[in-house]
Amino acid sequence: MLELKIASRFLKSSKGQTILIILGIAIGVSVQVFIGTLIQGLQKNLINTTIGSSSQITVTSNSSDGLIDASKDKIKVIENSNDNIKNVSPSADFSGFMEYNDKNYPILLRGLDLKRADKIYKIKDNLKSGREPKNENEVIIGTDLKKESKLNIGDEITILTPKGKSKKVKVTGTYDLKSSNINNKWIITTMKTAQDIFDSKDKITGIEMQVKDVFSADIISKDVKKSLKEYDLKISNWKEANASLLSGLSGQSASSIMIQVFVLVSVILGITSVLAITVMQKSKQLGILKAMGIKDGKARNIFLYQGLILGLFGAVIGVALGIGLTYSFTKFAVNSDGTPLVPLYLDYKFIGASVLIAIVSACVASVVPARKSSKLDPIEVIKNG
């Protein structure tokens, strides 16, 4: 196309100016990608740390004894209530004490379906030593409790219930679920062992689940509640207990968007001003082209194409620069154990949107100079040369 060829020649004839505009766009896009990617990585890491390996929706009983019967039937109902539910696990949780070497430690005995629970808590991956409970009266304890009580694998401990019952169990392993409160309180065992010690028969205390989209947990919990409406059960989700976390995430997102908007505005203003000057610089050439028969619409398209070319090159370079900055940040900003302070997380939809916004912004920025060029009078321009 003629307009595209002319636009390319105009840009090539002022290489220094063209390079500066492209660098300006690239820096703007790189800042947008860097900040957006960094905050998304921070949010994802925060979510994974706080609720990624825990129950996101929990079903408990409103009854006086806190127990749920016919749990298998209820689990089937829950699994069929919403397609976004991915992991469901029953639990039998009881507060009590652990007795070892004449000392008592407050604990929460967690009877779990270990196969199901592993999908939520990643127990196998977080085992530090020994093995999971396989037989009755076997347990695993957290690293903090092991350190405090000076237990060893193979030792026997006594579980004491509030009703005065006691039961000796064997420690087969230790875990680290990355939470000192959990590591110091939870003693994990099989479902049957917990039920036998606390005389709950085949009843459980809760049903835990994870969902595909953690931010939809409140909506999904409503579907779960509807499916279980005939039972006296309570359904809670992680959002209810983490209002401050949600507020912080919303604040981060809002600040990120504000910064990106201001960067885009500065880029648009920069491109508009430079291209407006280009119209004045190329006014004689435009006058000659108009005198040769180029219509106003085509003269306008020359600058629109310039904006498109500048936006395209600036966006591509900016994305590469932004990803490079993010990667460098994850290598230099590290924790004491060498892991990144903020993990590298690339959202390709966000990156694609950043490229598109940069190109559209560059085209929008070229509208003003494009309209200005279409209003040039070729006779006056050539006359005043």
What per-residue confidence (pLDDT) applies to 287?
Answer: 59
CA–CA separation, 81 and 270 (whole Å): 53
Q: Which sequence spans correspond to the domains of the chain? A: 2-50+245-384, 63-231
Q: Identify the residue whose tokens are 């321009």.
A: 381
Per-residue pLDDT band for 129 (boundaries 50, 70, 90) equals: very high
What per-residue confidence (pLDDT) applies to 299?
Answer: 67
What per-residue confidence (pLDDT) applies to 378?
Answer: 56
Residue 380: pLDDT over 70: no
- How confident is the model over 148-192, as pLDDT tens digits? 999 999 999 999 999 889 999 999 999 998 888 899 999 999 999
The answer to which of 24-33, 63-72, 181-190 has the lowest mean pLDDT is 24-33
Per-residue pLDDT band for 370 (boundaries 50, 70, 90) equals: low
* Average pLDDT over every residue of 327-333: 83
Query: Strands 156-160 and 206-211: what pairing?
Result: unpaired
CA 324 from centroid of its chain's CA atoms: 20
What per-residue confidence (pLDDT) applies to 32?
Answer: 81
- How confident is the model over 267-284, as pLDDT tens digits? 777 767 766 666 556 555
Question: Is there a contact between 137 and 194 (Cβ–Cβ < 8 Å)?
Answer: no
Question: Is there a contact between 174 and 128 (Cβ–Cβ < 8 Å)?
Answer: yes
Task: Give me the chain's average pLDDT, please.
Answer: 83
What per-residue confidence (pLDDT) applies to 150?
Answer: 92
What per-residue confidence (pLDDT) applies to 27?
Answer: 85
Residue 209: pLDDT over 80: yes
Model's pTM, two decimal places? 0.68
